[in-house]
Structure 1
Amino acid sequence: MDLRQLSYLLEIAKQQNFTKAAENLHLTQPTLSKMVKGLEEELGVTLFDRTGKYVKLTDAGIAAVEQIQIIMQSVQNLYTAIEDASNLKTGTIKIGLPPVISSVFFPRVIAKFQKLYPNIYFQIVEEGAKKVEGLVLDGSLEMGVVVSPVDAEAFEILPFLNQKLALVLHREHPLAQQPSVPLQKLRNEPFILFPNSYAVRNHVIRACRSIGFDPDVVYESSQWDLLAEMVAANLGISIMPEAICSKIVNPDCTTVELTDPSIPWELVVISHKVKYQSYAMREFKSFISGLTAE
């Protein structure tokens, strides 16, 4: 049996007459009767009592019609759910964000998107950038926001934010009043950085090594505000993204441009290059593209 045949049974039950049902279904009465007879043989029961002027459902027919109505409603629900998803009325986006990024940027981005699509929900997984890349590759996440560079052969990459890392100093540090500070002048400073799993730290280490020294990391924390407080306590210097530096409110901290070399900090949105992308996810990526174009 198929859905078409089930709909025919409902029409017969509604009209209580094979001829009238056949007219409404644009079938011949013998064709409809033959179809019903075949279904009765398949099910091993009699569905209609044909002895009177009007056909009536048997007990088995009543039970069958009740279940057919449930089936037809479920099929309609299926089509409605698909239509809602394709029209972005509903959906869930599972996205990975390193903690530094999630605390600074994405709450505002998500809030703007959900004003447009209030029934699109986000499931946010906070992990380091490398972990996020792995979760996108194995399909555990639909998309992630990480620090460039990433493997262009494995990921579809969408630029999101392009900034630099800046130097955070205690306000009484000898370099605090300089308009900019060459990285080389920090050779003998105690560094306060994010942990090894954070892309920000890796960028700092690479830049220092490129000019001939390994930074002396005396403290580390995954919380940018704690890093800032340690600088405010004059325990060392730190290097953070400009966007995070702008959120530091402790008056004992000051931010200075870092040069020679400057250290880029480019955020990109990544997704798997070949896996299926949901309607909601595609629209969210389009929304992000619009933000970066502004």
Structure 2
Amino acid sequence: MEIRHLQCIAEIVRLGSFTKASEALHVTQPTISKMIKSLENELNIEVFVRDGRQLQLTDAGQAIFSYAAPILQLFEQLQAELHDLTYLNKGHIRIGLPPMAGASYFPEVLKRFQDRYRGIAITLLEDGAKKIGDQVAEGAIDVGVVLGPVDAEMFESFPLAKDRLKVILPLGHPYADKPRIALAELAEERFILFNSDFALHSRIINECRKVGFDPHIVFESSQWDFIGHMVGAGLGIAMLPDTVCRSLPASKVCAVPLVEPVIPWLLVMVWKRESYLSLAAREWIAFTKESFGVGAALGNGNGSNDR
């Protein structure tokens, strides 16, 4: 039994005629008759009483017809929902955004996307890039923003924005007037870092070790603005991307370029390689590429995850 058999029976009963039903379904009357006959042969029953001029259902036909209406209604609802999903009138996307990236780059992008696709619901996970990368890899979220380079075997990706870290110092710090600071010069400083869910946590520690010291970490936080205020209060120094530094209060802190080494901050959009992506998620990826001016085809990163 197929859905078209139920459609035929429902139309024949509704219109009281094979001829009218064939016209409503845009098929020939012999086609309708053949479909009903094939169903009867398949189920070894008769659907319609064939005596006399009045069209009547048999008991078996009545049983089929009683189920036909709710089944066809559900089928129509399914078709409507699939249509909405296909044409992005509805859908759901789970997106991971690190706080710094979310605040600096995505409010307007999200607003324009919602204006274009009002039926698509978005769930945002705000967390460190390291944790976001783990969640994308596990399939807990559809797409996420992490720090590059990324694992090309695990993720498909494309770059969003490139920046570099600066040293955040309280006003009055001896290094506040320097044009640039080498990382080794900070060996005796008290460090305020993001917590271990953030890729910058381990990245800064590793870079410090490369130049010969373990940073003295006095505070950890998940909020970049709180880190800035702690620096302003004289609790330590921090490292943040230049884009974020511009949002910190100039009356309390200053930002000095970090050199030897320069530590890049590359934002990358990632999704799990060879995993299912909904139409809504695919449209978000395409929309984000357009918004950030990424012209190449969906590409791959290389290396390891970061926040």
Query: What's the TM-score once normalised by structure 2's chain length?
Result: 0.84
The whole-number CA distance in structure 2 between the counterparts of 1:138 and 1:95 is 13
Find the aligned partners of 1:26 and 1:248 in 2 and give their Cα distance: 74
Query: In structure 2, the residue corresponding to 1:236 is in which secondary structure?
Result: coil
Which sits farther off after the overlay, 227-236 or 64-73? 64-73
Structure 1: distance between partners of 2:287 and 2:164: 24
Name the counterpart of 1:164.
164
The amino acid across from 1:162 in the alignment is K
1:129-148 alignment, distance < 5 Å = 129-148=129-148
Q: Distance in 2 between matches of 1:265 and 1:30?
A: 70
Matched residues, number: 291
- Mapped to 1, the partners of 2:106 and 2:22 lie a distance apart of 59
Identify the range of structure 1 (218-227 vs 67-76) with the bigger mean alpha-carbon deviation: 67-76
Question: What percent of counterpart residues are identical?
Answer: 37
Matches within 5 A, 1:178-257: 178-249=178-249, 251-257=251-257
Instruction: Encode CA deviations 1:204-251: one digit per residue, 9 max, x unaligned.
Output: 112212211111111111121221111111111111122221221261
| Mapped pair 1:31 → 2:34 | yes
Cα distance in 2 between the residues matched to 1:271 and 1:8: 45
The 1:15–1:32 alpha-carbon spacing in structure 2 relative to 1, beyond 3 Å, is: farther
How do 1:1-80 residues align onto structure 2 when only pairs under 5 Å count? 1-18=1-18, 20-21=20-21, 25-28=27-30, 31=34, 34-35=37-38, 37-38=40-41, 41=44, 48=48, 52-57=52-57, 64-80=64-80
- The question of whether the paired residues in 2 share the 8 Å contact of 1:48 and 1:57 is answered with yes
Alpha carbons 2:131, 2:198 under 8 Å: kept: no
Q: Which amino acid aligns with 1:289?
A: K
CA distance in 2, matches of 1:246, 1:63: 72
Question: What secondary structure does 2:175 align onto?
Answer: coil
1:22 touches 1:32 (CA, 8 Å); kept in 2?
no
- Asked if the contact 2:5/2:36 (under 8 Å) is kept, the reply is no
Q: What is the distance in 1 between the residues matched to 2:131 and 2:35?
A: 61
Tell me the alpha carbon deviations over residues 3-61 of structure 1, each in whole angstroms, 9 at most, x when there is no partner.
Answer: 1211110121123134554676414376366346447745xxx7545555321457875
Task: Please state how far the C-alpha of 1:258 moved relative to its aligned partner.
Answer: 1.3
Q: Which moved more, 1:89-98 or 1:259-268?
A: 89-98
Partner of 1:83: 83
Q: Could you tell me whether the CA contact under 8 Å between 1:15 and 1:21 is conserved in 2?
A: yes
Task: Look up the match of 2:117.
Answer: 117
Partner SS, residue 212 of structure 2: coil
* Residue 266 of structure 1, CA deviation: 0.4
- The farther-off stretch of 143-152 and 68-77 is 68-77
**How far off its partner does 1:142 sit?**
1.2
The amino acid across from 2:256 in the alignment is V
Q: Displacement, 1:93?
A: 0.9
Looking at structure 1, the residues matched to 157 and 35 of structure 2 have their Cα atoms a distance apart, in angstroms, of 57
* Counterpart AA for 1:11: E
Q: Which AA in structure 1 matches 2:34?
A: T
Shift of 1:165: 0.9
Shift in CA distance, 64/190, structure 1 to aligned 2, threshold 3 Å: same
Distance 2:150 2:268 in 1: 9
- Residue ranges of structure 2 left out of the alignment (5+ in a row): 295-307
Q: Distance in 1 between matches of 2:33 and 2:91?
A: 47
Q: CA RMSD in A?
A: 2.5
Paired position in structure 2 for 1:290: 290
Q: Residue 262 of structure 1 corresponds to which residue in structure 2?
A: 262
Contact 1:232 1:250 in 2 (8 A): no
Distance 2:164 2:34 in 1: 75
Instruction: Quote the Cα distance in structure 1 between the aligned partners of 2:171 and 2:117.
Output: 45
CA distance in 2, matches of 1:243, 1:124: 22
The SS at the match of 2:292 is helix
Residue 94 of structure 1 and its aligned partner are, at CA, apart by 1.0
Change beyond 3 A, Cα 1:204–1:113: same
